[in-house]
Structure formats: C-alpha cells, structure tokens
Structure 1
Amino acid sequence: MNKQIEAIIFDLDGVITDTAEFHYLAWKKLGEDLGIPFDREFNETLKGVSRTDSLERILELGDRQNDFSEAEKDELATKKNAHYVELIRNISEKDLLPGIESFLIQIKRADIKIAMASASKNALMVANALGITSYFDHIVDAATVVNSKPDPEVFLKAANAVSANPENCIGVEDAAAGVDAINAANMFSVAIGDSTILSHANVVLSSTEELELNRIIDKYFAS
C-alpha cells in the first residue's frame, strides 16, 4: 500500500500555545492549599497527563492519595480547573506559538485533514480564544477520553473522527507521554523540544518555528 498523509493531529499545550505555565501555577496553588509543595521539575511529569491523573500524582507526592473520596477528588480537580480558566481568560491570537498558523495554512492548502488530540478539557475554549478553530476538522473532547496519554486513545479518536487511517497520520507533541501515545497509535511522531527527552520521536524539532510541511513530508516518506 502506498504511503500517504491523511491527517496531521496536534497536541495543544506546548505545541499550539504555551498554557503549560498556567497549568503549573494552578496546580501549584492547589498543592499549596493541600500542603503539598512541588517544583517545576515535578511539574514536568504532569505534562501531557490528564487532570485526574495529574491530581493523583500530586496526592501521591504528598502521601495523601487515600485522604480523599472520589467525590472530593473531583472537587479538587474542578477547583484547579477554575483557577486555570481564570488565568487563561486573557489568552488571544498573540499567544499562538511562532510558526503555528503558517504551518496550519500549509496543511489546509495541501488538503490534509487537521485534528486536535489534547488532554485538556478546555481545548475548544482555548482554540476559540486563539482564533484557530476554523483550521481544525475535529477537536477531541477530552471528557470523552477514558485513558490519558501515554495511552493512544485520544490520537486514535482524532484519526477516527476525520476518517483517517492511523498509519497515515502524523502526530505533533511536546511531551514524552504524548510521543509515546503517537507511537502506540502507530502514527509518525513529530516532537517539539529537547531531543534528549524526546528521542523516541521520529522527528525532533527544537521549536515550532521549524514546522514546515514539505520538510515534515520528506521525513515521513523517508521513514
């Protein structure tokens, strides 16, 4: 079967815009409220991980995983999200990472489907605020995803939503767990960031400014 590219599927945080700092501040505040301080190094382990799983990791850090009922954990996660939403209230087109809109335009002109596979339940809200919703053929609602990254479910859902064969899809991520998810979905993985952390991706770029469709296509067909 001839190789082809049917869809390019994006993560949101750290790829399209950098809301990671807002997530860090919101989780840090919740951690402090619970008497569980943590640093940026620990926060790196939360990147690409769902809200529920992130909360579990924080509670385990403070050895408090058995201190709350499931309902109370839901309340804690909701509290974190409310603070996060408050922090991103002023996000706009200026917060798109460099090169992203140009890359989206290139993909559209090539008549390749575009989807989003984010762990964030606020993905659609953020996409609307960034003014990029019209580029996307589908944005997966993270609330419908059972298994968080590194499980491939969210990428497979995105591919299915745009009627694309996962083997003919390219996934773009900035987190190690996200690259694991793309690879597990049997897609071609493009990572943005530190090559020592993301070396398991098919292609690693140092920044979003390096995203250029013809370059990615060449790497894809050479693989």
Structure 2
Amino acid sequence: MIRLVIFDLDGVIVSTDELHYLAWKTIADREGIPFDRKINNRLRGVSRKESLEIILSYSKKKYSEAEKETLMKQKNDIYVASLKELSSSDIFPGTREVLEQLKQLGVLTGLASSSKNARLILEKIALTKAFDCIVDGNMIAHSKPHPEVFKKAADILQIPYENALVVEDAKSGIDGAKNANMLAVGIGDAGTYEKCDYKIDFLTELIPIIKFINMQANS
C-alpha cells in the first residue's frame, strides 16, 4: 500500500541540470581542469561537496579544505544567480496535476533533494506549498545513495518506509530509495536502471502505477 510518494526535485519536477553544468564548467575552466558533459553526468544526485571532489580528481593540483570551500561558494553563487530567470513555467508538464491527483487519492507527497537550494527553487516555481514535507541538503548529513533524505521525509510524515515510493531521475537516487526499503520509480533515462521497480517517461504515468499497487494491496 502506497501512502507516501517522495519526489526528487531536479530532473523530476523541474530541470536545472544545465545551470549546474554551466556553473561547474565556469569553475573548472578557471582552474584549468578538464570538464565536459560526460564528467557532469557523474555529478547527478550527489552533494555539492562530492561533486567538487569528483571534478578535482581530474586536476593535478592538491586543494586545501579552505580552497575547496571557496570553490564551492563560487559555484553556488554562479548557480543561484542563474536561478533568477526560473519560474513556474519551467515546471515539467503534468506536475501540478499529478500532485493534486495524489492528494485526491489520500496519498501524501514529499520532496527529497540533496540540493541546499531546493527551497529557493520551489519558491521560484511556486511549488513550496504543494508538498506535505520538504527535505533538502541543509537537513541531512549524507547525500544519495545514502537513504537518509528519503527516510527523513517518511519519518516526518510518520509513514513506514515500506509504504513509500520514490520518483527519481538518477541512479544514486534509485539506490538511495532501495537502501531505504522503498519502491523506486525511474523517470527518463533512470528507468533503464535494473534496480527500478517501475519505469516512466512522464510524471503523468505515475498515477496508474499508484492505483495498481494500492488495488493489489486491497484485494
């Protein structure tokens, strides 16, 4: 029985992947570190600090912790500045309808993101009040694939982990969901990952899955 659906933010509700890429690309270019979209794919779903460590692994220079903190701040400043153009028109099609349908079905909704800017993004796209709980990078010690962010969302809403389903667009998020003993729905390319319980191309495909699971549970 599914009583809670937990959504990742970036790549599921809205896409700021390109903004992240351009911000990291700016930092890498300044430092003379090779950085392309293939490397960028390794950063999906992981924290800012872990992303930086991946990028710096391509550099011959050794960076102090203070230098790393400076680079992370510079990247975040570039990224946050680029968010000023973000608006509700950037939400993926069908998102609001799916959230409303889940509410009508009596299913709670949570947002679980490793990003420390998740609430800012939600404000920009006018979705802050659309979720029953929001867990972001400021509230967790471990990023995906650690299950902490998903477990915290379920704990806040007092829902057993086995009654929660996670929608993710990255392998690290799928792994995190499975590590939390939750069902995992892969959207887009993540749907090809063998650990996914279900695959969808669009959020609107989620409702029939929830109805099917709950019908089976009640039969």
In the alignment, the residues of structure 1 paired with residue 52 and residue 214 of structure 2 have an alpha-carbon distance, to the nearest angstrom, of 36
Counterpart in the other structure of 2:209: 215
How has the CA–CA distance of structure 1 residues 196 and 93 changed in structure 2, closer, same or farther, with 3 Å as cutoff? closer
Rate the CA distance shift 1:24–1:220 in 2: closer, same or farther, 3 A. Answer: farther
Query: In percent, how many aligned pairs have the same letter?
Result: 42
User: Could you say which residue in structure 2 is the equivalent of 1:186?
Assistant: 181
Name 2:70's counterpart in structure 1. Answer: 75
Q: Which letter maps to 2:202?
A: S
Aligned residue for 2:199, secondary structure, equals: strand
TM-score normalised by structure 1 residue count: 0.91
SS of alignment partner, residue 141 of structure 2? coil
What is the letter of the counterpart of residue 166 of structure 1? Answer: Y
Matches within 5 A, 1:198-209: 198-209=193-204
CA distance in 1, matches of 2:100, 2:14: 16
Counterpart of 1:53 in structure 2 is 50
**Counterpart amino acid of 1:30?**
I
1:16 corresponds to: 13
Shift of 1:194: 2.1
> Structure 2 unaligned runs (5+)?
none
Distance 1:57 1:217 in 2: 40
- Give yes or no for contact 1:170–1:189 (8 Å, CA) kept in 2: yes
Contact 1:176 1:197 in 2 (8 A): no
**Which TM-score applies when normalising by structure 2?**
0.93
In the TM superposition, residue 84 of structure 1 has moved relative to its aligned partner by 0.5
User: 2:191, 2:105 → 1: CA distance?
Assistant: 32
Unpaired segments ≥5 residues, structure 1: none
Per-residue Cα deviation, 1:51-110 (whole angstroms, up to 9, x for no partner): 00000000012244xx22222211111110110011111111100011111111111112
Post-superposition Cα deviations, 1:149-186, rounded to whole Å, max 9, x if no partner, equal 11111111111111111110000000011000001100
Shift of 1:206: 2.1
Does the residue aligned with 2:146 lie in a helix, a strand or coil? coil
State the one-letter code of the partner of 1:46. L
Q: Which structure has greater helix proportion?
A: 2
The number of residue pairs the alignment matches comes to 217
Alignment counterpart, residue 84 of structure 2, candidates 86, 89, 94 = 89
**1:35 matched to 2:22:** no
The match for 2:147 is 152
